[in-house]
Amino acid sequence: MITDWQPGVLDPGRLGAVRRSGLIDMEPDDAFDRLLELAAELTGAPRACITLVDSTHTRALSAVGFPQELVLAAPIELSFCRFVVATGAPLVVDDSRRDPRTAGDPTIEAFDAGAWAGYPIEDSDGRVLGTMCVMDPDPHEWTTQDLHVLSTLAMAVSTEIALRQSRVEVVAMRWEIDQLRAASSR
């Protein structure tokens, strides 16, 4: 079982990026929902999630096929997302109960996670904020096409996040310029 996930997840630079993203308390968003629905449909996964991982919880930005109370804020120990965030690399598990990386992990029972595949979602500086993942309660052999779809859509989510962050920065710069103009005209 993968055990050394805490240093990567608890990295102060990464946690700062999560806070600065402004996504922690975000309301549901159509852009993320559409990308997630596409991931579930194209991979044939009955469950899919776009997550944001802080120091204690995995929070859903969007979810398909999960009971709502499970994905809003699951303890980090009950999420395979922690492994992707810790390493910055995808995690693909066809049978989580038999895979030596995940066998015995409490995520399996908590989410009935028979199979799981997740890719990192990054900010514009390359810091891993969370994952785009798909899950099946039964073992599921993820195809090369499934993984390509998931990788591509995770990059699209990362791009959407970067665009949102750029928009916030532009608004802040405009405000600062307006303040400087007002001060210089006095």
- Helical residues (DSSP H) of the chain, grouped into ranges: 6-9, 12-20, 30-43, 68-71, 81-87, 106-111, 144-184
Look at residue 160 and tell me if it is in a domain.
yes
Look at residue 1 and tell me if it is in a domain.
no
What tens digit of pLDDT does each residue of 110-130 get? 888 899 999 999 998 899 999
SS3 assignment, position 63: strand
State how many domains the chain has: 1
115 forms beta bridges with: 136
> Taking 90 as the threshold, does the pLDDT of residue 147 lie above it?
yes
DSSP state of 69: H
What tens digit of pLDDT does each residue of 30-56 get? 888 899 999 999 999 999 999 999 988
Scanning the structure block, which residue is given the tokens 């709502």? 68
pTM: 0.84
Strand order in the sheet with 91-93: 74-75, 57-64, 47-53, 128-136, 115-122, 91-93
- Report angle CA 75, 100, 133 to the nearest 5 degrees: 45
CATH of the domain at 119: 3.30.450.40
Look at residue 31 and tell me if it is in a domain.
yes
Structural domain harbouring 51:
6-184
